[in-house]
Each structure stands twice: as C-alpha cells, then as structure tokens.
C-alpha cells in the first residue's frame, strides 16, 4: 500500500508535490484549481507590503525546439492587498482542510514580521515560508536574496519569526551565494523548522539583437531576472545535497525546488534528501495538470521498488555522493559501439577527436560509416555515449576486475601523488596524443 502523504517539519500534506511561491499561487482561485488537480500543497505567492509590477515580466531560454528550458522573471511579490489574500487563504483551507497552505512572507521590520505572522495564522495557514531568495527588485530594497546572502541577518530574522510563530517555519534560501551551507546553518541556528531551496538565480536570458535590450524588455530596458526551469535543476540538486550531507543541517527537512517537471525529477530530489518538492515553471508551461504525470510516475517507481512512503527512499543517494578524492582511481570503463545499432552519424568520432581524447577511429572503407573505439586511447570519459543519438548504441563497459580500490585520498596519504610539473606519476603520462601537425593533414 503506497502512502504519499508527508509530514514536512510539522506541515502535513496528502502528497509531496507542492506549488512553489510564484505566479501560479497568486490567488485562491489558482490554488483551489491546483488542489483539485492533485497538488498536495501550495506556497502562496509572497505576501508583504503590496508592490507595483512592470509590464513584460518573463523571459525564456529555448534550446533547439524546446521552449522554456530555462525561464526567468522580474515579477515582484504579491501586488494584491493583504486582506484579499488572507480571505482567500481562509476560503481555500475551508475547502481543502487536509492540503498544505503555506504563506510565503517578506517584510522588513520585526514589527511587520510579527503582525503578518499573526494575520496568516488567523487565516488558517499551515506554515510560513520566509522568502530570503528573490534575487530581483526586492533585494535592491534590502529584502529577499539580500537577506539570504547575509547569514547573520538571516539568522536574526528567523529568530524573530520563530519567536512570533505558532505554526511551522520554512526558510527559503537563495542560490546566489558561494557556499549554501552558510545560510543553511544560519537558518538552523535561528531555529527554522525546515529549509526550502533553491530560489531563482540572478540571470540575463537573452539580448534582443535589434534593440540591444535584455529580455524581458520593459520599454527598451531590462533588469536581471530570477532564473529557473529545467536548466537550473543540476544546481538545485547539488545545493540540496550539500545541506542534506551537512552534519548540523541534515536533520532539518528540505523542500527541493528548481526545475522539477517530471516524476523522475521529484524522485531524484527525494533521493538526495528532499521530502517535499516545489514546482513553478513546469506549471507555468503546462498548467496544473502535469501533476498527474508526476504522481503516477512516483507511485509506479515506489511500487516497482517496493516502497510504501517517500521516507523509505529519501536520501538514499546521499551515501554515493562523495568528494572527488574518494573516487576509485582503479575503476576503468571503455566505450563500446554496437555496430548493429550505429546509424553512422560519426558524432562520436568528431566529438572525441575534437572535444576529448582522440580515441575513436573512422573506417578506411568510405562506405562503412561505423567508427571503432581505440581502446588504448579511451579514458572512459562518456562523451561519445552522451552525444550518440541512438539509445544504448554506445555503452561504457567495465574493464577492471573490481578487486582493486585506490583513491586520491589514499594515494595522498601514501605520498604517491604527482608533486612536480613533470612527475612520472602524472595520469596523462604516456597517453597517446597525435602530433600537432596531424591536425593539418587534410591540407596535403
């Protein structure tokens, strides 16, 4: 029996799929529609002193024929009066008492924090999320990511909030910082119940080649926006992992945000320690209905792996994410091309020859377009298998017998690492590299 329900740092929800605080959670109408579609929770678009927004707010990075692979926005927090939002929170909770409604908040003074916390509690919110992440507009006014970038300020505000709040508090972090564990630790020290990340990344998504203005263009000018969407997922996953592995933070629940669009994304986030996921761009692209695919996929995965709750596999990838120095230097894989599947595009050849280690050869027979691996040159880098357009045509085959394990760390301890510029112990010593002038052979 699969049970998708969660208790996320004191906030209960029927499933781990939450809407992130963003345009899709701007109103009670949208959140009711989302819950009706299957979402388990929603973080209300950030409440505070209502803002004035600009027209033209979103920009997109399209990759080939894929739209919105990356996405950015310069929209600020809610521009609706607080009273309207509070009334709608109350109404949503009336219809969906078991779903999680979390109020994202962003204000300045301690008094404002105390007041707004009381307001959202009275409205029936199940939790509070502190928006310390918004990297555009609000940060210029000392809020949003300006707080997230100052661990001390962050810790102080979390302290104020915890003092005032009777409902659970999630601290949302900005990725616009060099070491995510610093604000993470500050949030924990401030007493937060849980952490969510990542907020958006400062970005410019494109420049108009006629007006030379950055997108989104507001009357000929633009500003940095907050970047999100599928493109940021790897950054989010890394930051989640850093918090989840940190000894002083790992006990704090993490809500993963950043490019989640499919069940696979959600499972990956959970494997890295997240116990709820928040989604925005995918909904802005496809509507609330995509949660059907996410939930069905998650259930299928759990059934196949025999898990009954997400806690059964949360964090399961963490032991395998380690520092480089602990990787086995004796492990050896080599590319193998399946000639029956090869379609002869020769992308593996050119990517290896120009972009990697010159370990793939073309046939001498001009009719035969199936390349071959020069095994002694292959360093097992994967590039060919990544560029190959045919599924399972190039595979990386294990060549070591698995009996040996030697890491950089161990070699360092054994005093067995290259130390001079021409050290014999250099990894590339003796590797085949063509003569520089071989590059010009075609001229003859």
Which positions touch another protein (CB under 8 A)?
A: 64-65, 342-347, 349-350, 362, 369, 389-390
**13 alpha carbon, distance to own chain's centre:** 22
Nearer to another protein, 283 or 384 (CB): 384
Contact 366, 344 (CB under 8 A): no
Contact 127, 169 (CB under 8 A): yes
First CA to last CA across the chain, in angstroms? 70
Local structure of 405: helix, strand or coil: coil
Nearer to another protein, 18 or 349 (CB): 349
Contact 59, 206 (CB under 8 A): yes
| CB 386 to another protein: min, Å | 14
Question: Hey, what are 398's tokens?
Answer: 């294990």
- Is 134 marked active-site? yes
| CB 355 to another protein: min, Å | 12
Q: Would you tell me how many other CB atoms lie within 10 Å of the CB of residue 419?
A: 8
Q: How far is CA 124 from CA 155, 195, 198, in A?
A: 26, 21, 26
Q: Would you tell me how many other CB atoms lie within 10 Å of the CB of residue 224?
A: 18
| CB 108 to another protein: min, Å | 45
| CB 345 to another protein: min, Å | 4
Contact 88, 28 (CB under 8 A): yes
Q: Which of 134, 348, 352, 384 is catalytic?
A: 134
Bridge partners, residue 274, by sequence: 254
| CB 210 to another protein: min, Å | 12
Q: How far apart are CA 224 and CA 221, in angstroms?
A: 11
Q: How far apart are CA 422 and CA 409, in angstroms?
A: 21
Nearer to another protein, 343 or 406 (CB): 343
| CB 73 to another protein: min, Å | 24
Nearer to another protein, 67 or 292 (CB): 67
Number of residues written out for the chain: 444
Q: How far apart are CA 9 and CA 299, in angstroms?
A: 23
| CB 367 to another protein: min, Å | 10
**391 alpha carbon, distance to own chain's centre:** 25
Spatial neighbors of 380 by CB under 8 A, at least 6 apart, are 332, 333, 334, 335, 396, 399
Q: What is the residue whose two structure tokens read 């208790």?
A: 7
Question: Hey, what are 124's tokens?
Answer: 């029936």
| CB 350 to another protein: min, Å | 4
- Residue 436 is given by DSSP the state G
Nearer to another protein, 45 or 357 (CB): 357
Q: How far apart are CA 99 and CA 121, in angstroms?
A: 15
Peptide bond into 252 cis (omega under 30): no
Q: Could you list the active site residues?
A: 134
């Amino acid at each position: 029996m699969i049970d998708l329900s969660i208790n996320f740092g004191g906030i209960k929800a029927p499933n781990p799929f939450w809407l992130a605080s963003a345009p899709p959670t701007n109103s009670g109408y949208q959140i009711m529609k989302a819950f009706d579609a299957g979402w388990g929770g929603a973080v209300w678009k950030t409440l505070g002193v209502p803002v004035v927004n600009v027209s033209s707010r979103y920009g997109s990075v399209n990759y080939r024929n894929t739209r919105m692979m990356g996405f950015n926005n310069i929209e600020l927090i809610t521009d609706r009066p607080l009273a309207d939002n509070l009334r709608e929170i109350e109404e949503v909770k009336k219809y969906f008492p078991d779903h999680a409604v979390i109020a994202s908040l962003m204000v300045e003074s301690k008094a404002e924090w105390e007041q707004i916390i009381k307001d959202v509690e009275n409205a029936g919110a199940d939790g509070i999320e502190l928006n310390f992440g918004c990297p555009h507009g609000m940060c210029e006014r000392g809020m949003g990511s300006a707080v997230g970038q100052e661990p001390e300020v962050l810790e102080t505000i979390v302290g104020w909030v915890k003092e005032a709040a009777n409902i659970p508090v999630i601290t949302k972090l900005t990725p616009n910082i060099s070491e995510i564990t610093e604000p993470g630790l500050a949030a924990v020290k401030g007493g937060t119940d849980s952490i969510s990340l990542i907020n958006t990344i400062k970005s410019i998504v494109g420049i108009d080649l006629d007006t030379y203005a950055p997108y989104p263009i507001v009357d000929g000018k633009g500003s940095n926006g907050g970047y999100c969407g599928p493109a940021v997922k790897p950054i989010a996953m890394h930051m989640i992992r850093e918090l989840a592995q940190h000894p002083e933070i790992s006990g704090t629940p993490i809500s993963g945000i950043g490019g989640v669009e499919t069940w696979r994304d959600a499972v990956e986030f959970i494997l890295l320690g997240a116990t709820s996921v928040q989604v925005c761009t995918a909904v802005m692209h496809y509507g609330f209905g995509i949660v059907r695919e996410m939930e069905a996929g998650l259930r299928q995965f759990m059934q196949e792996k025999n898990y009954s709750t997400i806690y059964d596999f949360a964090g399961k990838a963490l032991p395998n994410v380690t520092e480089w120095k602990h990787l086995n230097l004796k492990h050896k894989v080599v590319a193998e091309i399946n000639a029956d599947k090869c379609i002869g595009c020769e992308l593996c050849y050119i990517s290896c020859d120009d972009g990697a280690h010159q370990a793939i050869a073309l046939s001498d027979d001009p009719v035969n377009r199936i390349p071959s691996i020069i095994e002694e040159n292959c360093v097992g880098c994967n590039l060919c298998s990544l560029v190959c357009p045919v599924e399972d045509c190039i595979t990386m085959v294990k060549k070591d017998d698995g009996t040996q394990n030697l890491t950089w760390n161990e070699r360092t301890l054994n005093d067995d690492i290259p130390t001079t510029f021409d050290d014999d112990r250099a990894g590339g010593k003796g590797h085949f590299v063509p003569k520089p002038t071989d590059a010009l052979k075609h001229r003859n």
